[in-house]
Amino acid sequence: MSEAARDFLHRERLVIADLIALLGRLDAHKEDLQELRTALEDLEGLFMLVVCGEYNAGKSTFLNALLGHKVMLEGVTPTTDRITIVTYGDRARDTEEGDFILRREFPAPILQELALVDTPGTNAVIQKHQELTERFVPRADLVLFVTSADRPFTESERRFLELIRSWGKKVVVVVNKFDILEPDEREKVLEFVRDHAREALHESIEVAPQVFGVAAKSAFRARQAGDEAALAASGLPALEDFIERTLSAGARVQLKLASPLGVAHRIAARYARTTQERLALLADDRRTLQEVDRQLEQFKRDMYRGFESYLTQVKTVLIEVERRGDVFFDDTVRLRRILQLMDNERIREAFEARVIRGADKEIDGVVAEMVDWFISSNLQVWEDMMNFVTTRRQAGEERLIGEVGGRFQYDRDALIRGLSASAEEVLSSYNQDLEARRLANALQASAVQTGLIQVGGIGLGAAAVAFLSGAALDATGIVAGITMAGLGFLVLPNRRRVAKRNLHEQMQRLRDGLAESLTAQFEAELRRATDKLSAAISPYTRFVRSESDRLEELQGDLERAERELKALRREVETLDLSAPSTRGKRPPRAQETPALETPSTSGAQPSERERARKRNA
């Protein structure tokens, strides 16, 4: 191997090793990581010429014609049920390599330069056969794609060629059973296959894929009979010459070095798409979470506005009590009612009947309505949460669940399921009556704690009335010191003003105290509700944010890896392999790496294949 090739190989290994480590951070499938490791290991192996195509296209017959012996089974039904790697050996021998790979040794001269790989037919009724072939394609250094002249280039063949191309493999197309075509049809069929293969392989118009017409069965019979004219007419020698010219030692090294790069680039590109898909899904999640945050803020604003409305209603009840109190004092504290004023109990009863009348029920009604509103609004938020969960689950199921995969999808689904379970538990266990009593008691307790209201357990309205009855009206104080012979004409107006002033002060105290205590309790209840909701969402929120940051970093690393792989693929096409290495050269053995070590054959001497062909003749 030249120094340039050795240096390139070293850099290639480093880039692919970095990619393996990077994909490990991305939770890549074990099969993909093994694919990359196998691609690196194959650099030390034989050059693999992989024969693919649909069942009954004549792949095994074609291989037998190339080898000059009946090495592979043939038949009209699918006969190859595993990957068969045919390599050079002193005698014919089969070795099982796992459940799906058979290594077959055979003493054919062509196998000293490369390994021929027979694959199960695609588009067969046995799905496993196609899967085996698709899984082995990444290991190919060159693909010979065999189609049949009686059904050239089917739709399934087009799809399979696109798969091959996605791995970055060089492809040569063979139209087998060419002898069944009339002479005037042959060039048309070749042109048809060439055009469609170019499209499937995404080749430019200027560089069409190589397409050869071959009659493999005729070629095999001609080679067995030593009929050179019939062999030439079969089209096989033209293909063999092309393979020999194309697969000179330098070209084999280039294809061998390029093969892992194609595999690595395809896998890196796929995970770059997966990462982008994950980020797109998380971007949707982020927008949804932002909308949830916006809705929570709007929920808080709406709750404050609603609470202010209810608080205003409570204040309105008290203001009306205060207005009636003014009217009561103006009407009651008069000289002509001096005798009635002397009866404290009667005045108190009159005050309660005319001033307080029904205020307790009005206050309790407003508070009860506020409690129901609060509970209903809180439940609505949790129902909105359930809608959020449903939306996110559907987004995962409908869009990307099969493509995203891995730990990411598992973690995301688990968090959403947990959030769904939490929301369902809250909704199913929410006892509105019990919660209403708790909230009402909490509101009253908050008022009691201010010291304004001393009575508990009788409802907030009744407690407020008790305050009014006990503090706002001191009938005895109104007439204290007044006698029939006293200065009633001077004292009573002053006493009336004092009583009204005291009432106003007490009512203001009550309004302010209730507003303060109810607001404090409302804010505590609102925090309790939103904190519970935020706590339910927070694991998913953290996941979305942390995964977004992690994936954005990985996306940058994958983009750099793709750029490095593309640069290496361009470089290997222009790699100078003419200067051989001077470090410890020794002749290669067939089981080692002739693809990287075999020196170029001289154009002045006949090739081993040509000599073997003459011996067979």
Q: Are 145 and 161 within 8 A, CB to CB? A: yes
Q: What is the pLDDT of residues 145-154, one digit of tens each?
A: 999 998 888 8
Residue 158 confidence (pLDDT) above 90: no
Q: What is the pLDDT of residues 549-598, one digit of tens each?
A: 999 999 999 999 999 999 998 898 887 765 554 433 333 433 333 333 33
Q: What is the pLDDT of residues 39-48, one digit of tens each?
A: 888 888 888 8
Lowest mean pLDDT among 140-144, 225-229, 233-237: 140-144
Instruction: Give the per-residue pLDDT at 600.
Output: 33
Type of residue found at 120: P
Q: Are 569 and 265 within 8 A, CB to CB? A: yes
Q: What is the pLDDT of residues 286-344, one digit of tens each?
A: 888 888 888 889 999 999 999 999 999 989 998 998 898 888 888 876 655 666 666 66
Instruction: Give the per-residue pLDDT at 564.
Output: 93
- The runs of H, that is alpha helices, within 396-487 are 401-404, 406-429, 432-449, 460-467, 475-479
Lowest mean pLDDT among 51-55, 416-420, 517-521, 530-534: 416-420
Lowest mean pLDDT among 87-91, 292-296, 354-358, 455-459: 455-459
> What percent of the chain has a predicted confidence (pLDDT) above 70?
74
- pLDDT tier at 612, thresholds 50, 70, 90: very low
- pLDDT tier at 2, thresholds 50, 70, 90: confident
Residue 280 confidence (pLDDT) above 70: yes
Measure the CA–CA gap between 516 and 267, rounded to whole angstroms.
Answer: 65
Instruction: Give the per-residue pLDDT at 205.
Output: 40
In the three-class reduction of DSSP (H, G, I as helix; E, B as strand; rest coil), residue 94 is classed as: strand
Residue 241 confidence (pLDDT) above 60: yes
Instruction: Give the per-residue pLDDT at 124.
Output: 47
Q: Are 558 and 22 within 8 A, CB to CB? A: yes
Per-residue tokens: 250: 């330098």
Cα 456 to the center of its chain, rounded Å: 56
Say which residues have a Cβ less than 8 Å from residue 316's Cβ, sequence separation at least 6: none
Instruction: Give the per-residue pLDDT at 125.
Output: 38
Average pLDDT over every residue of 108-130:
72
Instruction: Give the per-residue pLDDT at 396.
Output: 52
DSSP assigned state of 470: I
Measure the CA–CA gap between 65 and 211, rounded to whole angstroms.
Answer: 18
Q: In sequence order, what are the beta bridge partners of 177?
A: none
Instruction: Give the per-residue pLDDT at 406.
Output: 61
Q: What is the pLDDT of residues 371-389, one digit of tens each?
A: 889 888 888 888 887 777 6
Q: In sequence order, what are the beta bridge partners of 49?
A: 116, 142
The count of C-alpha atoms lying within 13 angstroms of the C-alpha of 438, restricted to the half-sphere facing its C-beta, is 9
Cα 88 to the center of its chain, rounded Å: 47
Measure the CA–CA gap between 116 and 312, rounded to whole angstroms.
Answer: 90
Instruction: Give the per-residue pLDDT at 176.
Output: 93
331, with CB counted inside 10 A (0-12, 13-18, 19+), is: exposed
Say which residues have a Cβ less than 8 Å from residue 226's Cβ, sequence separation at least 6: 616, 617
Instruction: Give the per-residue pLDDT at 588.
Output: 40
**Contacts by 93-102 with C-beta closer than 8 Å and gap 24+?**
100/132
Lowest mean pLDDT among 26-30, 351-355, 403-407, 602-606: 602-606
Lowest mean pLDDT among 65-69, 446-450, 590-594: 590-594
Say which residues have a Cβ less than 8 Å from residue 422's Cβ, sequence separation at least 6: 536
Per-residue tokens: 252: 């084999």
Residue 249 confidence (pLDDT) above 80: no
What are the Cα distances from residue 391, in Å, to 402, 413, 452?
A: 18, 12, 49
Residue corresponding to tokens 């092309």: 242
Average pLDDT over every residue of 198-223:
80
Per-residue tokens: 402: 């099969």
Measure the CA–CA gap between 228 and 84, rounded to whole angstroms.
Answer: 29
In the three-class reduction of DSSP (H, G, I as helix; E, B as strand; rest coil), residue 582 is classed as: coil
Instruction: Give the per-residue pLDDT at 60.
Output: 87
Residue 429 confidence (pLDDT) above 80: no
Say which residues have a Cβ less than 8 Å from residue 29's Cβ, sequence separation at least 6: 405, 406
Q: In sequence order, what are the beta bridge partners of 172?
A: 144
Cα 282 to the center of its chain, rounded Å: 7
Instruction: Give the per-residue pLDDT at 385.
Output: 75
Average pLDDT over every residue of 189-201:
88
Reference 61, options 72, 49, 51; nearest CA is 72
- pLDDT tier at 77, thresholds 50, 70, 90: very low
Measure the CA–CA gap between 557 and 237, rounded to whole angstroms.
Answer: 48
Mean pLDDT of the chain: 78
Measure the CA–CA gap between 549 and 567, rounded to whole angstroms.
Answer: 28
Q: Are 101 and 48 within 8 A, CB to CB? A: no
Instruction: Give the per-residue pLDDT at 179.
Output: 93
Type of residue found at 297: E
Measure the CA–CA gap between 237 and 244, rounded to whole angstroms.
Answer: 10
Q: What is the pLDDT of residues 480-520, one digit of tens each?
A: 444 444 445 556 777 778 878 888 888 888 888 888 888 98
Measure the CA–CA gap between 468 and 274, rounded to whole angstroms.
Answer: 71
With b for 16 or more beta-carbon neighbours within 10 A and e for fewer, the 158-179 pattern comes to: eebbebbbbbbbbbbbbbbbbb
